[in-house]
Amino acid sequence: MRINVTGNAGSGKSTLSQRLASELRLPLVEMDRIIWQPGWQSTPSEVCREQLSRLLQADAWVLDGVSRQGRQKADFIVFLDFPRRVCAWRCAQRNWRYLLSSRPGLPDGCPEWQIVPTLIRIIMDFPNKARPVILEDIATSKGSAVVIQSAADLANFIETVPSLQNHAHF
């Protein structure tokens, strides 16, 4: 089973990915660990593609992050499609906790205060840039997908998680 949890910054990708990986006993692949080096230095794109390609060759995983390559290889896509205001609020809450240190899933030397302008730009641009591409990938996917747009949608999805293992398309 290959699951990609995707969505805007602050949508809850990491939280849900960790939960799915734990409950379904699948390896967790975190895009933040591939994309970022210590001190918020970007990993060269060719190195990112190679690392991700190697990790996605496995038969089972939960991918936490926005990756077209991941969506194309996934059997199941979970799109956390929350409004910008929700994502911005969640980022603000998260950033406050890790203002001076690296949050889990990131390399050392990545305090949140250094990435705030980038996060704001990502959150604001997401509906017009990344969202249409994700929806297109979902529409043409050979696997299954769910689009979660509210806390109620998320709660309903989480209730179905144990049954995900039983679906024939996995």
170 vs 155: CA distance, rounded Å: 22
131 vs 72: CA distance, rounded Å: 15
Answer whether residue 82 shows pLDDT above 70: yes
Beta carbons of 77 and 147 less than 8 angstroms apart: no
Amino acid of residue 114: Q
Q: Determine which of 112-116, 133-137, 145-149 has the lowest per-residue pLDDT on average.
A: 112-116
40-59: average pLDDT: 95
- What is the model's pTM? 0.90
Answer whether residue 112 shows pLDDT above 90: no
Beta carbons of 123 and 10 less than 8 angstroms apart: yes
pLDDT at 163: 67
User: pLDDT, tens digit, for every residue of 139-169?
Assistant: 999 889 999 999 999 999 999 887 665 543 3
**Mean pLDDT, the chain, integer:** 92
102-107: average pLDDT: 85
**CA distances, 94 to each of 7, 11, 82 (Å):** 16, 11, 16
The number of residues in the chain equals: 170
DSSP state of 79: E
